[in-house]
Structures are given as structure tokens and as C-alpha cells.
Amino acid sequence: MSELRNELERIFSEREGEPASVATIAENPCAYRTSHELEELDVRLGDGTEHRLMLKSLGRSALSSEARAAKPAFLYDPLREIETYRVLLAPAALGTPAFYGATVEPSRDRYWLFIENVQGDVLWQIGEPEVWQQAARWLAGMHDRFEGADLGPLSEHLVRYDARFYGLWMERLLGFVRGGETALTAEAREQIEWLAKRYDEIVERLAGYPATFVHGEFYPSNVLIQNAAAGTGCRVAPIDWELAAFAPGLIDLAALTIGKWTEKERNALALAYLEASEREHTNAEQFLTSLELFRLHLAVQWLAWDPSWAPPDEHRHDWLGEALAAADNLGL
């Protein structure tokens, strides 16, 4: 506790521009932890001001044993989320959780991220279509904001979506399938082999899209909504930027719209994004076709994550069915 207190006093002193003391800290594990350690901190300073923070430990030793075993090594960078908040999100004031500071001590595998503990609802728990569409519009605004932006020191930490990256996921999936490491049926294995024969074309098409800064996992479980009752006036506060990337914005939109939607519902979300975007896009029909390409990629990525790992309930889905549906829509 003394080390945590010292770090908080350092962070608040830097934030306030004058010495700050911590009077009390109430620390509780966050119920929504999925991979990294998350602690809710209620901090009262010596001057009486109170702050509700989230402490996220991004060191590899702070991963749950299941996540440590399953998370591909090439995706792991403990500084990615810290630098995303420090370099990009904090100055942009887009409504994301406020950045308070970070502790980086590589020799101790200590990478502490201190951010605002946003009090709100997770998007997937909200039924109002206008709130979902507001999230889509927020996403378009973020992609517009950072298109062509100088990402500075953050650049070296971002995941890069290129032909090699897209192709890698199908290679991983085939390795698991052909190595007998999955519990897939014979029919499912045949379907994956069928898809793999057509995937070079998909990779070529995916790699042709322009890139911007993206969240990387813009799933509804990673989007907090504050004041949801306000509809279009709500606060959209995405969290968990561990896989922030330089990639086509459609990868985020695919994450938001993938899953158990009707075609009409998915299209309504996609068109809310399209209408809000100031960047140049093709017509609506071509835009929706492009989205199917990224929907297909995300499904393949989930299938290739790790055969021994079971995703959280909110991500549990028939990803092979999703991939095949997107392939059918694309006329493969």
C-alpha cells in the first residue's frame, strides 16, 4: 500500500502542479476484469478532494494464467495502452476515461496505468438503438480526428494491420486445424480449408484500405456509456486500448457490428457511422460490402486466437458461422 500511496502522490503532484498528499485509499478488485489485474481506487487527497480511479496492471505477470497462456506473444506490448492514453487520448478530450498517470518500471515488470473509473453502463447491456448509433458516430469522429495525425512515440507500439498481419491469422488457424489442436467437427475443418483457399484474395483486398488510428477491439463490452438515458447526448467512453492499432477504421466498425444482429440492424449501425464520417468513402452499398471483409477477418481472428482458450461470455459466438456468412455475402 505504501508504494501505491507514493505513486499516487507523485501522480497527483504532477497533475496539480504542486505537492499533493493522499489521505486515504480504498482499494477493491474490479468485477469486470478479463485478463489484466484491475483495481478500483477511491482516493481522498489531503485537501479533501476525492477521485475514483481505475488501476490497470499491464505487466505480463499481471495477466491471468489463462490469458498469459492464450494471448499471442506478437500482440503483447505493456506500453501500448499507457502511451495511447498519454500521447493521444488525454490531449484529444474525446470523452475517454481521463488519464491520471502511469508507473513504468520494466525491471519489476510493473506497468501501472491510472485512469478515471467511469461510472456507466456497458454498451452491450443497453437496448436503445440510438445509443448504439451514437457509439458508431463517436467512432467515426475518432477515426476522422486521427487520420493522417502524427502519432509520435506511440507509433512504435501500435499493432500494424498489413498483408502479413491479416494472413498470419489464417496461417495460425490452419496450423491448429491441421495439427489436431481443436475440437472442431470434420465438417468445420472442411469449411475452414475451403475458406483458406480463398483467403489470399481477402488479404489482398483488406491490405488495400487506408489506415488511421483505431481502438483495435471496439466490441460492445469495451464501450462504457455514461448517462445512457440521454440518447445522443450520452458520453461514449471506450476502455481497454491494449490492442490499439494503425489500421483501417472499418476494423473497429466490424467489431461494433459483429455478432447477433439482423442485417437491417447491422446496416443501420454502419450507416450511422458512414453519415457521421467526414472522410471520403464509397457509396453506401460498397461501404457495406467493405465492412463484410473486415467482419470476415475478425471472425477468422477469433477462431485463430488459441484452441485452448474460451473467450468471455460476451465474446462467445459461432465465429465460424460468422465467417461463412460474411464469405457468402461477399460471393466467395
DSSP 151: -
pLDDT tens by residue, 31-68? 776 778 899 999 999 999 999 999 999 998 887 767 66
Q: Domains (ranges, CATH) in the chain? A: 2-116 (3.30.200), 121-329 (3.90.1200.10)
Identity (one letter) of the amino acid at 24? T
Task: Tell me the CA distances in angstroms from 125 to 128, 140, 148, 269, 310, one per residue in order.
Answer: 10, 22, 34, 16, 21
Contact of 286 with 271, CB cutoff 8 Å: no
pLDDT tens by residue, 135-177? 999 999 999 999 999 999 999 999 999 999 999 999 999 999 9
- Given a cut of 70, whether residue 314 has pLDDT beyond it is no
